[in-house]
């Protein structure tokens, strides 16, 4: 179509030009004999001024009509600093209606009146809102940045199968009945993990894929049945090489998309450190309120929760909230107490400090003078400070409970300072999780994760202490993804299988073709995978992952637009050799 400019393009330097614009009517107003139309396209909004000569056509124009407008660029009397084109307007000489529109069921503007259900049902209108289009475009920019960065470094994108085989473990697979192979099913991949490792066996050395993945899990607000992963695998890379690669990748994304210079390298914390200090394996380090250990300090305290924790070699930790003694109400503390209980502790206890001998909180009566002095010294308490404690025989529970409380308090008191992008690595995960009751081991992540070379002797003596070449990348308290070096030595692989108690038959059944591949010259390899949806959500400041997915599903795994999933004719099911189980 004839279209000399888009609607985000004209500036004062264009004044006097004859232009042809195309777009949707975002707004129409009558003012003193003139009709003003805000004409919108993907690029912006331009104000069109229609004199009375055009009344015969402007009368019928309504919101969301599509127009082609010819006219001349003129300076604008009342400028609009919120528009890129806010200093000009176009005096229309001719208007053609390209298409009409019924009254849309929602307001099509950055601020809309529609609830999310309606927005998803009319997604094509929701996506007409400039703010939503910008999110899709920004997501695209992220992907573009990823591709350029990796391709400059010789990475090859390889598409791996979507119709593949059921994975041996992990989340639930989506299954696809085969028509040609009666009684058999494909599975949609939870990740390209096996294929990308096989590509390393193939000698491809540097693979990446913006990969569609699928997990049939119960949905949370930040989960979708189908999601997208930035998937990377390398051969002959050390863990340090991978850190550099990934740090450079995110520095490039932030530069390209947000024009922000990240400082590199990202800080690294061991799993134990982040748990101890932040009570989370994906800590938000944009604020303080770190957890402090007071197990030693309070080791003689007789408060039952503390005494029990100490006796059973558990842990007592506290968060120090300067000046907040009177700020947190009893009701808020009750809510935090429930949160602590959700994390399987017996709840929090607290101490309000108003002076040497002025402590409040039912637990404070158990504080000896030594305890009090110790706490004052450790936390450098001043009047009006608040301490929140959790004690439990199990260290992880204390960490997790106080970590959850820390997050609530951080958001309550510190969110005004949440402006930056705090990336960090969590490393030194244990290779195995040990169940002391059953004395069994299971893989913390997956059985192909490579142990530290220097910890190999511990495989025989104390597997619980073996550290894994596994690393998580965290941004502002969200896990963006994780990765590991993989085992390429068959001896080590056998030993790991042994420790987690897999028999030869189980190995063959679960990992058959994959293990076989490793017999023919497997290079040292490792990789990483990041959730693209979550990255896009954070970088576009979106509330929900659904805002950065063009056609998302709701919490019932339904697409309100297409009404997928839907009923299927039994004749079709017969062709697939299946039937519904409980047909009514």
50-69 residues in contact with a second copy (CB under 8 A) are 64-66
By the 8 A CB rule, do 62 and 102 touch? no
Instruction: Check residue 182 for interaction with a second copy (CB under 8 A).
Output: yes
Report if residue 177 touches a second copy, rule: CB under 8 A: yes
Q: Is 221 in the site for a second copy (CB under 8 A)?
A: no
505 part of the interface to a second copy, by CB under 8 A: no
C-beta atoms surrounding 260 within 10 Å: 13
Specify the pairing of strand 440-443 against strand 66-75.
unpaired
Q: Distance between CA 491 and CA 246 in Å, rounded?
A: 30
Q: Which of 480, 474, 503, 485 is nearest to 445 (CA)?
A: 485
Q: Of 197-205, 404-412, 434-442, 494-502, which segment contacts a second copy by CB under 8 A?
A: 197-205
Residue 13 in the binding site for a second copy (CB under 8 A): no
- Structure token digits, residue 155: 């990475």
Is the Cα dihedral 414, 386, 267, 284 positive or negative? negative
- CB atoms under 10 Å from CB of 574, counted, come to 10
* 136/502 with CB nearer a second copy: 136
Work out which of 55, 110, 151, 313 binds a second copy, going by CB under 8 A: 151
Q: What is the CA radius of gyration of the chain?
A: 30
Binding characters for a second copy, 253-282, by CB under 8 A (x = yes): ------------------------------
Distance, CA of 122 to CA of 113 (rounded, Å): 13
In the numeric block, which tokens belong to residue 81?
């600093």
Residue whose CB is less far from a second copy, 128 or 277: 128
Number of residues that bind a second copy (CB under 8 A): 114
Residue from 77, 461, 521, 543 that binds a second copy (CB under 8 A)?
A: 521
Our finding on whether 94 is near a second copy (CB under 8 A) is no
Is the separation of the CB atoms in 566 and 558 below 8 Å? no
Residue placing its CB nearer to a second copy in the complex, 16 or 183: 183
Instruction: Candidates 218-226, 329-337, 347-355, 394-402: pick the segment binding a second copy (CB under 8 A).
Output: 218-226
Shortest distance (Å) from residue 169 CB to a second copy: 13
Within positions 477 to 496, which residues make up the interface with a second copy, using CB under 8 A? 488-489
Least Å distance, CB 116 to a second copy, is 17
Among 70, 205, 308, 479, indicate the residue that binds a second copy (CB under 8 A).
205
What is the closest distance, in whole angstroms, from the C-beta atom of residue 93 to a second copy in the complex? 20
423-427 and 358-360 strand pairing:
unpaired
Q: Could you give the CA distance from residue 490 to residue 512 in angstroms, rounded to a whole number? A: 14
Dump the DSSP string for 257-326. Answer: II-----SSPPEEEHHHHHHHHSSSS---SS---EEE-TTTTTT---HHHHHHHHTT-EEEEEEETT-TT
Check binding of 456 to a second copy (CB under 8 A): no
Q: Is 20 in the site for a second copy (CB under 8 A)?
A: no
Helix (H) or strand (E) holding 427: strand 423-427
Q: Does 166 bind a second copy (CB under 8 A)?
A: yes
If one asks whether residue 149 binds a second copy (CB under 8 A), the answer comes out as no
Of 55, 232, 257, nearest in space to 155 by CA? 232
What is the smallest separation between the CB atom of 110 and a second copy, expressed in angstroms?
A: 14
Instruction: Name the token pair of 143.
Output: 């992907």
**Near a second copy in 436-455, by CB under 8 A:** none
Whole-number Å distance between alpha carbons of 207 and 156: 5
Pairwise CA distance, residues 425 & 247, whole Å: 10
- The answer to whether 14 and 22 have CB atoms below 8 angstroms apart is no
From the list 261-269, 272-280, 393-401, 546-554, the region that binds a second copy by CB under 8 A is 546-554
Contacting a second copy (CB under 8 A), which of 14, 87, 226, 433? Answer: 226
Among residues 94, 260, 264, 550, which is the contact residue for a second copy, using CB under 8 A?
Answer: 550
Q: Residues 520, 541, 543, 571: which binds a second copy (CB under 8 A)?
A: 520
Q: Output the CA torsion 368→373→377→381 (10° steps).
A: 90
**234 versus 443: smaller Cβ distance to a second copy:** 234
Contact set for a second copy, span 96-115 (CB under 8 A):
98-102, 104
Q: Kindly state the helix (H) or strand (E) to which residue 37 belongs, with its residue range.
A: strand 34-41
One DSSP character per residue, 229-243 reads: EEEEEEES--HHHHH
Among the candidate windows 118-126, 245-253, 432-440, 479-487, which touches a second copy by CB under 8 A? 118-126
């Amino acid at each position: 179509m004839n279209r000399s400019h888009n609607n985000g393009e004209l500036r004062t330097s264009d004044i006097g030009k004859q232009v042809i614009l195309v777009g949707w009517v975002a707004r129409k107003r009558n003012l003193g004999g003139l009709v003003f139309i805000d004409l919108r396209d993907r690029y912006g909004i331009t104000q069109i001024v229609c004199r009375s000569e055009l009344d015969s056509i402007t009368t019928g124009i309504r919101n969301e009509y599509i127009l082609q407008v010819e006219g001349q660029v003129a300076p604008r009397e009342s400028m609009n600093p919120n528009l890129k084109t806010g200093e000009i307007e176009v005096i229309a000489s001719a208007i053609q209606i390209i298409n009409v529109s019924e009254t849309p069921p929602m307001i099509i503007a950055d601020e809309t009146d529609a609830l999310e259900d309606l927005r998803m049902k009319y997604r094509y209108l929701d996506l007409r809102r400039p703010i939503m289009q910008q999110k899709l475009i920004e997501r695209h920019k992220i992907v573009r940045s990823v591709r350029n960065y990796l391709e400059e470094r010789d990475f090859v994108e390889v598409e791996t199968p979507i119709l593949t085989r059921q994975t041996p473990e992990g989340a639930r697979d989506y299954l696809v009945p085969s028509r040609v192979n009666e009684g058999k099913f494909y599975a949609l991949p939870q990740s390209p993990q096996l294929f990308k490792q096989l590509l390393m066996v193939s000698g491809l050395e540097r693979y990446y894929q913006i990969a569609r993945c699928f997990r049939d899990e119960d949905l949370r607000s930040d989960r979708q049945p189908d999601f997208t992963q930035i998937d990377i695998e390398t051969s002959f890379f050390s863990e340090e090489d991978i850190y550099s690669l990934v740090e450079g990748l995110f520095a490039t994304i932030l530069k390209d998309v947000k024009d922000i210079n990240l400082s590199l390298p990202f800080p690294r914390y061991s799993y134990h450190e982040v748990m101890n200090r932040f009570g989370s394996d994906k800590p938000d380090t944009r604020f303080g309120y770190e957890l402090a250990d007071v197990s030693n300090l309070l080791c003689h305290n007789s408060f039952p929760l503390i005494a029990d924790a100490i006796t059973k070699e558990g842990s007592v930790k506290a968060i120090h909230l300067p000046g907040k003694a009177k700020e947190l109400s009893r009701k808020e503390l009750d809510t935090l107490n429930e949160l602590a209980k959700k994390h399987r502790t017996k709840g929090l206890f607290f101490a309000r400090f108003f002076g040497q001998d002025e402590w409040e909180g039912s637990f404070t009566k158990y504080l000896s003078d030594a305890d009090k002095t110790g706490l004052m010294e450790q936390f450098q308490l001043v009047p009006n400070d608040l301490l929140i404690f959790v004690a439990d025989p199990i260290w992880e529970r204390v960490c997790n409970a106080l970590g959850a409380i820390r997050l609530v308090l951080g958001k309550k008191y510190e969110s005004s300072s949440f402006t930056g992008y705090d990336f960090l690595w969590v490393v030194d995960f244990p290779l195995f999780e040990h169940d002391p009751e059953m004395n069994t081991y299971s893989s913390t992540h997956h059985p192909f994760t490579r142990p530290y070379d220097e910890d190999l002797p511990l495989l025989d003596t104390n597997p619980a202490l073996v550290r894994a070449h596994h690393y998580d990348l965290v941004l502002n308290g969200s896990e963006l993804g994780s990765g590991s070096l993989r085992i390429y030595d068959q001896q080590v692989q056998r030993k790991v299988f042994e420790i987690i108690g897999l028999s030869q038959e189980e190995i063959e059944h679960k990992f058959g073709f994959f293990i076989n591949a490793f017999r023919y010259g497997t290079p040292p390899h490792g990789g990483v995978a990041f959730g693209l949806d979550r990255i896009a959500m954070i970088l576009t400041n979106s509330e929900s992952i659904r805002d950065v997915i063009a056609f998302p599903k709701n919490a019932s795994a339904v697409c309100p637009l297409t009404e997928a999933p839907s009923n299927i004719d039994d004749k079709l099911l017969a062709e697939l050799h299946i039937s519904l189980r409980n047909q009514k």
